[in-house]
């Protein structure tokens, strides 16, 4: 359970990353809510915090009808089922019900169809198929608004097998037809999407971080943009995000082999650029509890392209300098990464790394085996998206798992104990810093301290 001050900070930011970790009861209304509830924020003197919905209910509070705290993730009602539900959601978002059916999904999850329906009914109030269909239609609506893709291509990118089925489903879900919201635009060779953020946004420091860790051929950075190659499911290609500070957005151009994984790709880009953070609230919390720390306004968490890449890069970065880690990652990409038609290189697949002896890496044999062990486990589907589960792998310690959680998953509350750079930054401060007070945003404290030395 977070302490009351941490809960206060998280609820004021309405940070979805803390949904389910605590609940907010309001004494003046007798209602308890989730941290993400859209209702007007109550004054702190009227608020009580509870670890579970059950505890709030037993204290005499009734659940909010807007945010439905009974369905919050990670609440006690979900203990034992949250992992299954989270994996089901990830598979559905990746197209499991577009390419197969509920029976096949349940086989992959190792559960029965009735149990899966119960999980989705409790969490969302709909069936797995209805959830998948609504997500498809929401993504299609974004494409219709923001791109010049023909409606047929929008249907395909959203996971529909036929235009007729797309039109029928879209009208049922949105009470509109695609033509009602279709903007007439000239078709471009590439797909362009605008991704907004809440200012302030410290682009210069984010750009500097990516430039400092740049891998030639895989990534490219200039004063105004960031780009890289990608692989998501069966889709390959690349994107380039151009910063537009006047409109508080990035204009993202994508060139992809196919559009079926576009929704997941856009989510990855949002996480890489940390577009959903409320940095003003986060920095107000840090300044209040750590007034001795000089803060750079609008710092974001720079992400990797998924937890597997973050894991490989973290292992290669163990106990070496940034420059040395870059040389190792560059060698890995040059030897095992695929080259596209434009001469760009993609990050190697888990299968390619697992099949190589990695003799070209100037590393101790034990470190090379850790890289191969991680790649083999990932390729076999033995590892999940939660890096803390990776600690059972020999060679993966707490520092590595935390780096992966912060850069691969965007975890906002990671403190890298023992990190050399953080020790150097802390030693420069005249007054000792109480790191615990930075929770639940210790990842942003990490970035603020790194900013002092990088």
Q: Which of the following is catalytic: 7, 33, 106, 137?
A: 33
Nearest to 65 by CA among 33, 35, 36: 33
Residue 419 bears catalytic tag: yes
- Report CA torsion sign: 118, 124, 128, 129: positive
From its phi and psi, is residue 358 left (phi > 0), alpha (psi between -120 and 50) or beta?
left
CB 372 within 8 A of CB 358: yes
Q: Which of the following is catalytic: 276, 278, 379, 419?
A: 419
How far is CA 193 from each of CA 149, 160, 429, rounded to the nearest angstrom? 11, 20, 42
Nearest to 51 by CA among 2, 123, 122: 2
What are the residues facing 192 on neighbouring strands? 253
Peptide bond into 360 cis (omega under 30): no
CB 369 within 8 A of CB 363: no
Contacts of 412 (CB under 8 A, 6+ apart): 15, 17, 277, 282, 301, 440, 441, 442, 443, 444
Other C-beta atoms lying within 10 Å of the C-beta of residue 80: 8
Active site residues: 33, 419
């Amino acid at each position: 359970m977070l302490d009351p001050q941490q809960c206060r900070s998280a609820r004021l930011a309405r940070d979805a990353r803390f949904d389910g970790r605590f609940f907010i009861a309001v004494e003046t209304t007798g209602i308890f809510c989730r941290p993400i509830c859209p209702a007007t924020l109550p004054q702190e003197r009227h608020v009580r915090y509870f670890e579970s919905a059950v505890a709030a209910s037993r204290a005499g509070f009734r659940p909010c009808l807007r945010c439905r705290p009974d369905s919050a993730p990670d609440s006690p009602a979900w203990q034992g089922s949250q992992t299954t539900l989270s994996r089901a959601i990830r598979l559905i978002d990746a197209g499991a019900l577009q390419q197969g059916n509920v029976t096949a999904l349940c086989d992959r999850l190792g559960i029965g169809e009735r149990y899966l329906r119960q999980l989705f009914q409790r969490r969302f109030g709909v069936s797995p198929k209805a959830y998948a269909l609504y997500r498809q239609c929401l993504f299609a609506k974004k494409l219709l608004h923001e791109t010049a893709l023909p409606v047929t291509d929008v249907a395909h990118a959203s996971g529909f097998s036929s235009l007729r089925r797309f039109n029928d489903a879209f009208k049922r879900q949105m009470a509109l037809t695609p033509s009602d919201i279709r903007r007439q635009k000239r078709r471009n060779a590439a797909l362009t999407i605008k991704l907004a953020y809440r200012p302030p946004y410290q682009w210069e420091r984010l750009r500097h971080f990516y430039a400092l860790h740049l891998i030639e051929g895989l990534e490219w950075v200039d004063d105004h943009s960031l780009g890289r190659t990608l692989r998501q499911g069966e889709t390959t290609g690349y994107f380039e995000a151009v910063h537009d500070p006047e409109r508080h957005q990035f204009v993202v151009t994508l060139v992809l082999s196919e559009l079926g994984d576009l929704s997941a790709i856009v989510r990855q880009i949002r996480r890489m650029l940390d577009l959903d953070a409320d940095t003003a609230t986060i920095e107000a919390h840090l300044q209040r509890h750590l007034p001795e720390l000089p803060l750079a306004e609008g710092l974001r968490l720079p992400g990797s392209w998924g937890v597997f890449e973050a894991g490989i890069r973290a292992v290669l970065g163990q106990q070496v300098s940034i420059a040395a880690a870059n040389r190792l990652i560059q060698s890995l990409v040059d030897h095992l990464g695929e080259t596209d038609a434009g001469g760009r290189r993609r990050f190697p697949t888990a299968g390619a790394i697992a099949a190589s002896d990695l003799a070209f890496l100037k590393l101790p044999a034990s470190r090379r085996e850790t890289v191969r062990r991680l790649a083999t486990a990932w390729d076999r589907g033995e590892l999940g998206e939660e890096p803390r589960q990776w600690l059972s792998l020999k060679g993966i310690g707490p520092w590595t798992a935390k780096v992966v959680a912060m850069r691969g998953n965007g975890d906002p509350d990671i403190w890298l104990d023992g990190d050399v750079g953080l020790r150097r930054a802390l030693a420069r401060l005249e007054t000792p810093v109480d790191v615990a007070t930075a929770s639940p945003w210790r990842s942003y404290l990490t970035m603020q301290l790194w900013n002092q030395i990088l």
